[in-house]
């Protein structure tokens, strides 16, 4: 559910400001919560507006995006760094404290993945049991229920 209409907010705030009603009385009159009426009147007093503030969205990525050139250059030069190492370097060189997940989201937005590369051949698969019977251990085949 989104914010209540600006029209409703205006009627509540006007009832409090111009008609001299209390916030609780205005809330009862217009069928809104006491807390909403109190917040809207306070917002008008503090911000000069009772309009709703933006909901949700990213509020912190601009901090790491400000260092995009450094991070992308670092990744090109040393692609095998871990997120924790990149975070530590960003803090040491640029003084910006961020979490490894924030670094991951930055690279995700820039379509850069950290897939492990295979440097060696895969191991051969072989039997995992020393028992040559091939049936496995009898202990594991008994049901507990």
Segment 56-73, tens digit of pLDDT: 877 778 889 999 999 999
- State pLDDT tens for residues 79-132: 889 999 999 999 999 999 999 999 999 999 999 887 666 666 666 666 666 665
pTM for this prediction: 0.46
**Domain extents for the chain?**
6-47, 61-109
Query: What does the alpha-carbon distance between residue 107 and residue 75 come to, in Å, rounded to a whole number?
Result: 9
Instruction: Compute the 3-state secondary structure of the chain and give helix, strand, coil in percent, each to the nearest 5.
Output: 50, 0, 50
């Amino acid at each position: 559910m989104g914010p209540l209409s600006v029209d409703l907010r205006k009627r509540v705030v006007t009832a409090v400001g111009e008609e001299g009603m209390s916030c609780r009385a205005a809330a009862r009159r217009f069928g809104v919560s006491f807390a909403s009426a109190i917040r809207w009147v306070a917002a008008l007093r503090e911000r000069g507006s009772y309009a709703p503030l933006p909901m949700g969205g990213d509020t912190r990525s601009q901090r790491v995006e400000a260092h995009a050139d450094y991070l992308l250059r670092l990744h090109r030069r040393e692609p095998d760094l871990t997120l924790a190492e990149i975070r530590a370097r960003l803090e040491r060189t640029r003084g910006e404290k961020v979490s490894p997940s924030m670094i991951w989201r930055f690279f995700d937005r820039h379509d850069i993945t950290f897939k492990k590369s295979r440097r060696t051949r895969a191991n051969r698969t072989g039997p995992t049991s020393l028992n040559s019977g091939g049936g496995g251990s009898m202990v594991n085949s008994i049901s507990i229920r």
